[in-house]
Amino acid sequence: MSLEIITSDALKDVQHGFFTRKGGASSGVFDGLNCGLGSSDQADVVKINRARAAQALGLSAKDLCSAHQIHSADVVRVTGPQDSTPPTCDALVTDQPDLALVILTADCQPVLFADAKARVIGAAHAGWKGAIGGILEATLDEMEALGASRENITAIIGPSISQRAYEVGPEFLDDFLADSPDNARFFANGEGDRYQFDLPAFGLHRLRQAGVGHAEWTRHCTYSDPARFYSYRRSVHRKEADYGRLISMIRL
């Protein structure tokens, strides 16, 4: 089975892709293109999957620049190929050609950024903690430090968990209301004391409030499409031992 790559016309001037799970070598609960070296999948198989994804963008696995993601607002500037230890952060930016910035997700938002005119790109992992903590704005700041202009930056949110699948408790709502009462708009009433949180809408709001030239979501829900996407929350509901990680990447 060949790889399936979701792209955005808004980033047509920059090579990029949000990869689905199709076309990989993993099996079992990881069936498909699991690119998470932190999963309990066989490391050699994960490396095969990552190499296939790199090849799809005309690169080799050594050209992939990834992060040890911790739901922070930390951004690292990539200046050359990585050694064996990725930096601990949740976003990467670069102005260097032929290096792919890599983000891994399984419900959280993978966000790819580009100022095609200034030749500066970025990639961020934005779950709810990172998004409310400022990871998207921090990525924009670091891109500007490399010469990008905020009004020229396009930001695309890839496959993420949608509001209908994202049930949260009252304490979760309280955290967002403490950040801003306006955040109530991203919650819908669920059953009992539960709420449904709209993570992609919150991400788009933060991006647009920060002044990006263009922001959109690809409108793919990771939870609702098990044939195409891995989902942490779905794996928990199914009582599976682990889950695969989707890879998203962008390169100059």
Could you report the per-residue pLDDT of 24-52, keeping only the tens digit for each?
Answer: 999 999 999 999 999 999 999 999 999 99
Residue 1 is predicted with a pLDDT of: 78
CA distance 84 to 242: 24
Diameter over CA atoms, the chain: 51
For 28: left if phi > 0, alpha if psi spans -120 to 50, otherwise beta; the answer is left
The tokens describing 64, both together, are 């992939």
pLDDT tens, position by position, 133-179: 999 999 999 999 999 999 999 999 999 999 999 999 999 999 999 99
**CB atoms near residue 189 (< 10 Å):** 9
Quote the mean pLDDT of the chain: 97
Q: What domains sit in the chain, N to C, each tagged with a CATH number?
A: 5-160+214-251 (3.60.140.10)
Contact residues for 134 (Cβ-Cβ < 8 A; gap 6+): 73
State percent of the chain over pLDDT 70: 100
For residues 67 and 87, the answer to whether their CB atoms sit within 8 Å is: yes
